[in-house]
Structure 1
Amino acid sequence: MKEPEFKSQKPEHGYFEPDIQSNMVPQPESIDPNYKGSGKLEGKAAIVTGGDSGIGQAVAYAFAKEGADVSVIYYEAESDAKQTKTLIEKAGGRCLTIRGDVGNEAFCQKAIEQTVNMLGRLDILVNNAGEQHYCERIEEITSEQIDRTFRTNIFSMFYMTKAAMKYLYKGGSIINTASITAYQGNPVLMDYSATKGAIVSFTRAASQNKEFLAKGIRVNGVAPGPIWTPLIPATFPNEKLKKFGQDTPMKRPGQPRELAAAYVYLASNDSSYMSGQMLHVNGGTVVNG
């Protein structure tokens, strides 16, 4: 892996602007050119938050290769969203891109409605959008940052799931992106780690809720380890990037494409007897969770 580079400026409102994947060196591997779909999601419609780049882009592409139409929710990275749309359409799927803030409940409601109106149905909800902020001292974590991180990472899952329940029925799948930090913590990502722990608990609780059970909706998640996405170089100091992912048993960071099949599995009937579980794609780290 070449030495990572990224130029980003912290804006006045206190959190990083969305990061442009095309600016990264080296480029994340979101697309596996050898991936061959087998119709696992044929005729289904999915919505992926944070689907414009990184893990979300890889998942959206894999869903399209499996026959699904995909609605991609993104914050501000217009160029990445356009690239994802092109990839999905080349894979044979219809793609809707919707720009907005998933930390806003009204937007989440509109995004779900727009997706159903345009794609005709909703079968799969992937709650993937997330943000994080590097802070070595807890005194540096402002109330505004805590509110922002929780709104993006966990409030959005409540908002999107609430709005989607009107349309999801038997065979429907909700997939939440957690993190290895939910199990190990991260001393410089305290608020982020807290949200990821909440996502694990939300996933387990929802899977046992009588409403989800009565409708036949499964709720699972993926807990990635260190994955090379635009979020990483925009978050960590350059000296930290040089060693990113080297503390895993595999001694390297993962690529977004290496997670895509886990989401396909949870979205498809292959996982029909699985709910309330987390898949750990983390380079070999054992977390026993």
Structure 2
Amino acid sequence: MTHVDDTAFPAQQQELPGLTTAMTPTPDHGESSYVGHGRLAGKRALITGGDSGIGRAVAIAYAREGADVAFTHLPVEAEDAAETARWVREAGVRCVAIEADFTSSAVCDDVVARTVETFGGLDVLVNNAGYQEARVFGLEAMDDARIERTVTTNLSALMWMTRAALPHLEAGDSVVNNSSIQAFTPSTTLLDYAATKAAVNNFTVNLAADLGPRGIRVNAVVPGPVWTPLQPASQPASKIEQFGRNVPFGRAAQPAELAGAFVFLADPVAASYVSGTVLGVTGGKPVF
């Protein structure tokens, strides 16, 4: 698998939530490199925030592994969503892109209902959508809107989505949450974001214990620095030039490098006894 191997990126900035087409260099989502082996054949997956970044990489990988894919995106992300949908459909599976802003539990209920109506069921839920801001530092400078947006998107919506999905999941099915290295080595500039990701880890292992008797597996992936639109859209331009240099590998990951972890955790055969796991894909930074 070939990836862009830059140890530094050009200084750049976007407005939240950010778009793939405006990034330099363009991220690698596995479009030309990911090869499926039927590991998710016949499965029906729902990925939140699947329009770009890690979400797009997971959507492409799941599709090439044989799964039908539904994914959500914000209205402003329609251009990126159309590109993700194109790649998914080219894999020969069904795809539905759902415009949704996770501001209430009713939105999450509707997303799950639309997925189940389209595919006839649901087997894999990937809670990937996330929100962060890192241009305004310090708790005293964080207004209510920022804190509420971060907590709602990263934690409340994750719980709402999972609650809505559970009646449709059976033994062997799985929930995969997207956490962050920030849960283990938090940056003061991402105080609110890091706190939500630590909560995601706790939720993951606790829910795994709760659902174990039902045979439903719950795990989380912990990415290190990954080149996604969220970075130029939320970080100061000067930080982008150094992005990813603080890990042992000395570089940020491309989204495609995360896809395999999400495939493994959704695989009912390879990961049949894996639940309550927080799996680090961090370029060498510890997740304990």
Does TM-score exceed 0.5, indicating one fold?
A: yes
Cα displacement string for residues 213-261 of structure 1 (whole angstroms, at most 9, x for unaligned residues): 2321000000000000000001111111100000110100000000000
Counterpart mapping for 1:225-236 below 5 A: 225-236=224-235
Cα distance in 2, alignment partners of residues 220 and 268 from structure 1:
12
2:72 is the alignment partner of 1:66? no
Question: In the alignment, what sits opposite 2:194?
Answer: 193
Is residue 2:172 matched to residue 1:171?
yes
Residue identity in the other structure for 1:200: N
Give, in whole Å, the separation in 2 of the partners of 1:40 and 1:277: 20
The one-letter amino acid paired with 2:281 is: V
Paired AA for residue 272 in structure 1: S
Kindly state the Cα deviation for residue 142 of structure 1 after the two structures are TM-superposed. Answer: 1.2
Partners of 2:69 and 2:93 within 8 A in 1: yes
SS in 2 for 1:114: helix
Q: Distance in 2 between matches of 1:149 and 1:51?
A: 18
2:123 aligned residue:
123
Deviation at 1:125, TM superposition (A): 0.1
Between 1 and 2, higher relative CO (CA 8 Å, sep ≥ 6) is seen in 2
SS of equivalent to 1:71? strand
Q: TM-score, normalised by structure 2?
A: 0.94
Deviation at 1:32, TM superposition (A): 4.6
CA distance in 2 between partners of 1:3 and 1:200 (Å): 30
Distance 1:92 1:266 in 2: 22
C-alpha distance in structure 2 between counterparts of 1:287 and 1:87, whole Å: 32
TM-score, structure 1 normalization: 0.94
State the identity %: 42
Q: Distance in 2 between matches of 1:214 and 1:29?
A: 39
What is the letter of the counterpart of residue 244 of structure 1?
F
Answer yes or no: is the 8 Å Cα contact 1:6–1:23 preserved in 2: no
Q: Which runs of 5+ in 2 are unaligned?
A: 1-5
**Which secondary structure does the structure 2 equivalent of 1:184 belong to?**
coil
Further displaced range: 254-263 or 97-106 = 97-106
CA distance in 2, matches of 1:246, 1:219: 31
Partner of 2:50: 51
1:210-249 aligned within 5 A: 212-249=211-248
> Which position in structure 1 is the counterpart of 2:33?
34
Match of 1:13 in 2: none
Separation in 1 of the partners of 2:163 and 2:114? 15
Q: Could you tell me which amino acid in structure 1 is paired with residue 64 of structure 2?
A: K
Q: Helix, strand or coil for the counterpart of 1:165?
A: helix
* One-letter amino acid of the counterpart of residue 242, structure 1: E
8 A Cα contact 1:39 1:66, kept in partner: yes
Cα RMSD, aligned residues only: 1.2
Match of 1:4 in 2: 10
Q: Which moved more, 1:41-50 or 1:134-143?
A: 134-143
**Secondary structure of 2:145's partner?**
helix
Structure 1 position 194, deviation (Å): 0.4
**Equivalent position of 2:154 in the other structure:** 153
- Once the two structures are superposed, residues 6-61 of structure 1 have per-residue CA deviations (whole angstroms, 9 ceiling, x without a partner) of 4434xxxxxx3x21111111111112523221111000100000000000000010
Structure 1 residues without counterparts, runs of 5 or longer: 10-15
User: Matched residue pairs, number?
Assistant: 279
| Residues 120/229 of structure 1: CA separation in 2 closer, same or farther (3 Å cut) | same
